[in-house]
């Protein structure tokens, strides 16, 4: 099956810092999404981005399908950004292992 690898596994930021999260996948995909799982367990849709670039406020994402990776950018991080970020490909419903982000005030 498709391998989905996320890096880094853990990230600690000072409030206001920027960060880049990476998702590598081992085969071509027709559906890639980024999610934020907040401390209460709720999965929040961030981006549906099988290719190209999208922006939503302080967040943006880029998927380069031909090179099999996707990036999630978080600018001016806030404490509410804390939680786990998952990349998922839905050819066959593979989730990465996640990046656990902790933003300190």
Partner 1 sequence: SAVISQKPSRDICQRGTSLTIQCQVDSQVTMMFWYRQQPGQSLTLIATANQGSEATYESGFVIDKFPISRPNLTFSTLTVSNMSPEDSSIYLCSVAILTSNEQFFGPGTRLTVL
Contact flag: residue 93 with partner 1 (CB under 8 A): yes
**Which tokens hold the place of 61?**
């994402």
Residue 34 and residue 86 in contact, taking contact as beta carbons nearer than 8 Å: yes
Are the C-beta atoms of residues 40 and 27 closer than 8 Å to each other? no
Q: Work out which of 33, 63, 70, 77 binds partner 1, going by CB under 8 A.
A: 33
Q: Which is nearer to partner 1, 13 or 86 (CB)?
A: 86
Cβ contact 71:65 at 8 Å: no
Length of the chain: 105
Question: Which residue lies nearer to partner 1 by CB, 42 or 55?
Answer: 42
Residues that bind partner 1 (CB under 8 A): 30-31, 33, 35, 41-43, 45, 48, 86, 88, 90, 93, 95-98
């Amino acid at each position: 099956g498709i391998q989905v690898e996320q890096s880094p596994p853990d990230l600690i930021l000072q409030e206001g810092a920027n960060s880049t999260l990476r998702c590598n996948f081992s085969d071509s995909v027709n559906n890639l999404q980024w999610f934020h799982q907040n401390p209460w367990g709720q999965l929040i849709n961030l981006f549906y981005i099988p290719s190209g670039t999208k922006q939503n406020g302080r967040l943006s994402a880029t998927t380069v399908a031909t090179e099999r990776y996707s990036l999630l950018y978080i600018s001016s991080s806030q404490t509410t950004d804390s939680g786990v970020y998952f990349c998922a490909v839905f050819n066959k419903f593979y989730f990465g292992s996640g990046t656990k982000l902790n933003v300190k005030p």
